[in-house]
Amino acid sequence: GILALVGLHHEDAETDMQYCVKRLLAVKLWENDNGAPWRHHIKQKGFEILCVSQFTLYGTLSKKNQPDYKLAMKADQAQTMYSKFLEMLKEGYEKDRIMDGKFGEMMDVGLVNDGPVTLVIDSRDDKKGPSGSQMSSSSLEDAEKINNDER
């Protein structure tokens, strides 16, 4: 399956989430039946996606080397947008294959990388995607392939 660490930028809009959902569901991370790599996406495999809201992906360091999260979306708006992101994933795939943690809670998440593969899906990376500022502004900041057998 996929562990998706979801970071919401303070400028993100619904079009950014749509872009990221589309890319997440289409990314080809698995080999096909003939062993050719990078041929199958999550829907072809029937695997699960675990989404974890992760505002710290937009963390920067201040001049005093302290974490600063001013680029992250504020909690109330982020919770609404994150819920919408999950609904979009469920609409694009199978509801019972989309899992998530508790928004805003401290969670221990274990990951076993099978590869490893770590990708950034950013709605501003594709010039044909939503227009916006120069700042990275993705809804999905990190998608990692996990070993489905370990769950």
Residues annotated as part of the active site: 56
User: Taken in order 66, 67, 71, 74, is the CA torsion positive or negative?
Assistant: negative
Q: Rounded to whole angstroms, what are the CA distances from 52 to 16, 65, 130?
A: 17, 26, 23
The CA distance from 55 to 78, in Å, is: 9
